[in-house]
A and B are shown apart, each in its own frame.
Chain A
Amino acid sequence: MLNYTPDEMMTVTAARSLRDRMTCFVGIGLPSEAANLARATHAPGLVLIYESGAIGAKPAELPLSIGDGILAETADAVVSVPEIFNYWLQPGRIDVGFLGAAQLDRHGNINTTVIGDSYTKPVIRLPGAGGAPEIAAACKQVIVVLRQSRRTFAERVDFITSVGYGDGAGSRQRLGLTGGGPQHVITDLGVLRPDPATLQLVLTGIHPGVSVAQVRERTGWELCVSPDLAEIPPPSKAELAALRSLLASVPGPNTQGANS
């Protein structure tokens, strides 16, 4: 039995959700770790797109920021910031948007703006939107990766920075959001996917050694569990080695919910 941390399991699960040759819009932090792990393991042809304008970046080491030189130097194309959003993201050309979150509700709506009831006098001022609202709106599907707790899995988010499924069925169509919304929410405990009818997040996969009771304990709403709940296989030796080698290449801690 290999030793690994819940964070490592989360990143490995997130990497496995990507398939080879997908085009993937990547935020910095956990999403960038997972996408680069996928590229280093089962998805060498994954096309990484960073909002700094780097399309098809192939960094050999993990960048600290979305604008590190290595991204531009290894990209197939580098375009301006207006172009990356208008020509590449907005028309729905991109398969997967990979986002972090500080808070998430049962419909996959994301808050990365403020914690607290007051926008003008927040308890915690977070970085804000960055590229996330339009990534969440336009990508064919969205994958959210965040650590799960009652604080992060909230009954109500304090601010809707990026829309998941809004109020539920029909919301995205009413709002004219062209992309498919969050298809996977991946945490240190397992995986949640939207119920096809209600679009409420349902626990569909659980990491080894985690109980459903623990997941409920760390969810701020009444959690729905799939009748087909599956245990997710632990990281393989190769996955762990590739992840640790990637993490060793970054100069410091990455942060959650920090999609610059």
Chain B
Amino acid sequence: MTLTEAIAATVHDGDTVAMEGFTHLIPHAAGHEVIRQRRRDLTLIRMTPDIIYDQMIGAGCARKLVFSWAGNPGVGSLHRFRDAVENSWPGSLELEEHSHAGMANRYQAGASGLPFAILRGYRGTSLATRTAGVAEIVCPFTGESLTAVSALRPDVTVIHAQLADRKGNVQYWGITGVQKEAVLGSARSVVTVEEVVDSLVPRAGAVVLPGWTVSYVAVAPGGAHPSYALGYSVRDNGFYLAWDSISRDRARFGAWLDEHVYGLPEATADRAAELPVV
């Protein structure tokens, strides 16, 4: 299945969508495809919205953002995110804001089929009073006060991985983030991969998602750029730095989208090859 078909089949207007990858393996090609298909009113979930959601927010795909750190790592602000929050451009953006530990635990609860997770966190912070889905809970054994956070159960999770085999089993390694939890906690999932091989070779530190846990696999070589896929590419730090000025100005951002997303209907075609639907 091509990336175009996989996104059309899984991401619908109004859906709750998680596109994960912690700095590494961010599914940028899939993000561009969502923009190109002009999806609207999405609730976007991601620990670090990063450039991928800055683009989707600026393109008008998002109604709500669920997140824990919205910056351009090592560079500064996400200007499209800030413009949406500070000036409601291109529309208002509802925020549901957590800490990283909270988000990681919320994904874990979703993958575990639990309604909430427990952690030591949020106590004394303004987040605890600001954010729905954070509550105090008392340990039934020790009486200690802890924090409960509600589970995340996305309609769709989208991730990028290094490899899939012909049966649709997926393998990724390096910084593995929270992708396994996000995929297992979601109703549907799309995995873009650098390449498809006949069979996967066991590899230290790798995560394998059996094919039956994944809805669609699509080939998208370089699909993480400007993020990276360990063993295939390096993080394009120059692009992250350049994004600061591209995204600062609405018109320049619009021109960038026209040229690099809307203007490239073929970009998915050369990234995606046919794969059996799993």
Contact = CB atoms under 8 A, between A and B. Distances in A.
Real binding pair: yes
Interface stretch (A182-190, A210-218, A222-230, A246-254): A246-254
Given A82-B104, A162-B125, A260-B71, A122 B235 contact: no
B86 interface: yes
A251 B119 CA distance: 37
Contacts of A253: 75-76
Contacts of A258: 71, 73-74, 76
B124 A86 contact: no
Contacts of A166: 124
B203 interface: no
Interface in B173-225: 174-178, 180-181, 205, 207
A260 B48 contact: yes
Given A53-B177, A134-B99, A163 B74 contact: no
Contacts of B47: 81
A119 interface: yes
B130 A134 contact: no
Nearest to B21: A67
B107 to A, nearest CB: 7
A253 B33 CA distance: 31
Contact of A29 (B74, B104, B121): B74
B246 interface: no
A130 to B, nearest CB: 4
A154 interface: no
Interface residues of A, number: 62
A69 interface: yes
A52 B24 contact: yes
Contact of A177 (B82, B104, B124, B240): B124
A131 B122 CA distance: 11
A52 B23 contact: yes
Contacts of A169: none
Contacts of B4: none
14 contacts: A53-B176, A66-B23, A69-B24, A72-B24, A86-B104, A113-B127, A121-B86, A127-B69, A127-B77, A160-B126, A163-B125, A175-B124, A253-B75, A255-B71
